[in-house]
Amino acid sequence: MTFTADASDLTARRPSIDGCVPRHVAIIMDGNGRWAKARGLPRTEGHRRGAEVIRRIVRRSIETGVEILTLFSFSSENWSRPATEVSYLLGLLRRFVRTDLANLHENGVRVRVIGERDGLASDIRALLEEAERLTCDNTALTLVVAFNYGSRQELVDAARKLAEDVAAGRLDSREIDSDAIAERLYTRDIPDPDLIIRTSGEQRLSNFLLWQAAYSEFYFEPALWPDYDKDAFDRALASYAKRDRRFGRVSSQAAT
């Protein structure tokens, strides 16, 4: 499944959304394995079907005016899964770059990858770099792929960079604040997510964007990821639009 319309056509057919559309939506795509097990299928089939859903949600994000879509595709803890499953997931990534990247590029999607790259196979690193390089000037949507990503490791890496900068005299320890930490995260040039969606009914972050989620809104979707569709995505956006985001301040409604 590929996109069939260019970015200008998608904008022209953008549906009306009541309320505010989140600028940045992040999704924990959960439930592939359970979906396959419930149907007597191998876990790899769940991952294959889940990859098809990604294409539909990327398209829907452009249609609804979401600017940034972050997908938790492969965590640093996923390496502990069975070797056959890990191999299949890496194969999906390779196929994504080789078959979907050109189409994403044609539709104005910019690809960013966050996560630890040291230790990855050279061909995987080359594919990730190719995706970022080819699409770096696109503006219809930024697709952030969290690959080999773990938020605690991200914070450890940021702390290490701060320590190195202080030791080298590039930074005074008294200047360390939340901005200094944020500038050393993998997401340093990406705004924090406004809305985080998790599918499958689970209600936890699972080491995903722990720092960045400080003021995010959450939406927990009962559907397993392979069953997720644009209607479920729209429900999450509609729920977000009704919320009063205060960021620690008094609600404007309460103030009046």
Please give the positions annotated as active site. 30, 78
35 is in an annotated binding site: yes
Instruction: List the beta bridge partners of residue 26.
Output: 70, 196
204 is in an annotated binding site: yes
Q: How far is CA 220 from the centre of its chain?
A: 15
Q: Is residue 140 a contact partner of residue 62, using CB atoms and an 8 Å limit?
A: yes
164 is in an annotated binding site: no
Q: Is residue 198 a contact partner of residue 220, using CB atoms and an 8 Å limit?
A: yes
Q: Is residue 199 a contact partner of residue 30, using CB atoms and an 8 Å limit?
A: yes
Which residue has tokens 């953008």? 14
77 is in an annotated binding site: yes
47 is in an annotated binding site: yes
76 is in an annotated binding site: yes
134 is in an annotated binding site: no
81 is in an annotated binding site: yes
206 is in an annotated binding site: yes
Sequence-ordered strand ranges (E) for the chain = 24-28, 68-75, 109-114, 141-149, 195-198, 217-220
Q: HSE, CB side, 13 Å, CA atoms: give it for residue 199.
A: 25
Binding-site residue ranges: 30-35, 43, 47, 75-77, 79, 81, 198, 204-206, 217
Binding-site residue ranges for substrate: 31-35, 43, 47, 75-77, 79, 81, 198, 204-206
Binding-site residue ranges for Mg(2+): 30, 217
